Structure 1
Amino acid sequence: MNVLTAPIKSDTWTKATWEEFIQATENPDYDKAKFYYYQNQLRIEMSPIGNDHAHDHSTILGGIHLYLATHDLNVAIKDNCSYRKADKQEAQPDISCYVGNNADVIPSGTSIISLDEFPPPDLVIEIANTSLADDQGKKRLLYEELGVKEYWIVNVKDFTVTAFRVHGQGSYRIHISQVLEGLQLSLFEEALKMGRETSHTQAAKWLLSQFS
């Protein structure tokens, strides 16, 4: 299939050259899509995000802000930011963070962050609904190769946060964040459940009581 003339199936890795990938990202038909490129394949995610994905995205993002407000950490948070290593890889995680000395490394006015010029984010987070299998598989390999330090997968179906510490292009499970020092991920799992059963307000109040 020629990806430049035929519709691209969403949520599927499709063989493509880098030039075809770039042209797909510039196609107005996909202006609301998320893009990934890895091992000479592109992936476009266009499936409806839906209430659960949007709700849990807000819970995690708000929870990180609350944690930072109660801890002495210098962090820059990016929401749906694109990271590109020219001719090789691209990723657009739901949430990403630069921490410590890296927090101020990306200048204002930057659009797509070039990983040929800047370091990768220290933390990337994918909010997984229909994309869960891929978030656990190929995207995990992609983020290992990009050199992020930590990767979280938030499963909206069962309120779990599966986190990995990345080291030497490999990764291993963790339950306490090493990038957001000391953050117990089980607290976010409880907040996800609470946010669905009650409201973001109650989940935020509970998290704040745990962090303070």
Structure 2
Amino acid sequence: MTVTTYKWSLERYHRAIEAGIFDGQPIELLRGDLIVMPPEREPHAYYNTETADYLRALLGERVKIRDAKPITLPNDSEPAPDIAVVKPLGEIYLQHHPYPEDIFWVIEFSQATLSKDLNEKKEIYGEAGIIEYWVVNLKTPQLQVFRDLNNGEYKTELTFTTGTISPLAFPDVSVQVQRLIGLPK
């Protein structure tokens, strides 16, 4: 027996959302597949909120911090990263979610979804041209940073448990790793 799956295009996915077909179910589109998003546990929600507030204070008006809001990617993907640091384009986002060229970097907080975030999502973000991708591993706790895109693949992976890191788009900004991963400062 052959199993046939239905692949969603971004256009059909958007029409289905407008028609209310998903009934508010938290989903995201990854390479044409609908993925049900697992409920957020307390540590995930806490660090997501704290990091978003911290980045807003650090970066100010230079960016817009979007928490768990969709981004639209060309590979029939519309994930909702935990944090997307995007250009502050104002009302443009009434017309469309941020595109790759609008995104400085994305952050995922991972516990139950660690394998998906370190594999499938990393590939999707790289293929789409997202220049930097951070994964906060809440299990170990550590920060994994992916950068240096070449042909849609991240060539550099850095792992931090302490210290500071400067995002590629903002070399003048130092982000304290402990603020993201929950270890004492």
* TM-score calculated relative to the size of structure 1: 0.66
Paired residues, number:
169
**Which AA in structure 2 matches 1:34?**
I
CA distance in 2, matches of 1:123, 1:153: 11
RMSD of the TM alignment (CA)? 3.0
CA positional deviation for 1:24: 6.2
- Give 5+ residue unaligned stretches, structure 2: none
CA positional deviation for 1:79: 1.4
Matched, 1:33 2:26: yes
Contact kept in structure 1, 2:25 and 2:36, CA below 8 Å: no
List per-residue Cα deviations over 1:19-59 (Å, max 9, x = no partner): 59727654344x14130321x433221x2211111111122
Contact kept in structure 2, 1:16 and 1:42, CA below 8 Å: no
Matched, 1:88 2:94: no
CA distance in 1, matches of 2:168, 2:121: 20
Range with bigger deviation, 73-82 or 144-153: 73-82
**Which AA in structure 2 matches 1:137?**
N
* TM-score calculated relative to the size of structure 2: 0.75
**Which AA in structure 2 matches 1:179?**
A
Equivalent position of 1:160 in the other structure: 142
More helix by share: 1
Matched, 1:140 2:130: no
Contact kept in structure 2, 1:75 and 1:97, CA below 8 Å: yes
Equivalent position of 2:91 in the other structure: 107
CA distance in 2, matches of 1:166, 1:92: 22
- Rg larger for: 1
CA positional deviation for 1:91: 1.6
List per-residue Cα deviations over 1:40-81 (Å, max 9, x = no partner): 433221x22111111111221122123225xxx712211122
CA distance in 2, matches of 1:87, 1:145: 8
Contact kept in structure 2, 1:97 and 1:121, CA below 8 Å: yes
- In the superposition, relative to structure 1, how do residues 62 and 159 fare at CA in structure 2: closer, same or farther (>3 Å)? farther
- Give 5+ residue unaligned stretches, structure 1: 1-13, 195-205, 207-212
Percent of pairs with identical residues: 20
